Structure 1
């Protein structure tokens, strides 16, 4: 279903251990991320602070100039402390292996992952390659070299600098 957003065709191969699972799909018409499913034969008990690569049962081929970003699902993160360890994980256009999701449990409770569970989202995005050009100085901006927290820390904060 198209929503007025430009679509890009992504070739996908279902691997043997994921043949019965759905392909990545969007939960709503305007969703940016398609859900990735756990392609596991046995439940995984993810203990507190434990991380594990969870297979998805698919391999993809992205067109050159695109990447796929593996991102956490907000519900798993908010309710259970489950997130993607390298969020966002990047899948490059020349990668042809299985899409895996590095999940980490940041809660104090164990979390059970079962076959077919929605474990992450996949966002496909265009990207540009930088052409690095060394210069002797950079142009001046209002912010300058102000780093972390330099533009204020709270909504409505008048702290600058």
Structure 2
């Protein structure tokens, strides 16, 4: 979703928005250059380069549409996963590495075995927390961008 928003903004504002942006390492944020606000995924200069005076611009409309959708998403919780972590506590975050698969030679498939280069699609299901945390992060980004562009 982040890439789609960025692409929409770039395409709607033209080639001038493609200039290289400084990278935020996430340790300092950009508070000194952005009215005291801290940003980590987007630099203030990059955000300003995307700003438009037209609230009906296609990119702004897309940001608002994504934010409206995000308002009805969630809530997300680590306890909503369909599998229980090895600890036995659903409150523990659980993810699956991309190349780990159930061992077909062992009843129950555990421990998992590594298959280099073969991504296990199970990792992107509700059995693990990765899907929920990604959805939550996407919603936070959509809402933050909508706030920034619409005030």
TM-score, normalised on structure 2?
0.22
Higher strand fraction (1 or 2):
1
Q: Which has the higher contact order (CA 8 A, sep 6+)?
A: 1
More helix by share: 2
Q: So what's the TM-score if we normalise by structure 1?
A: 0.22
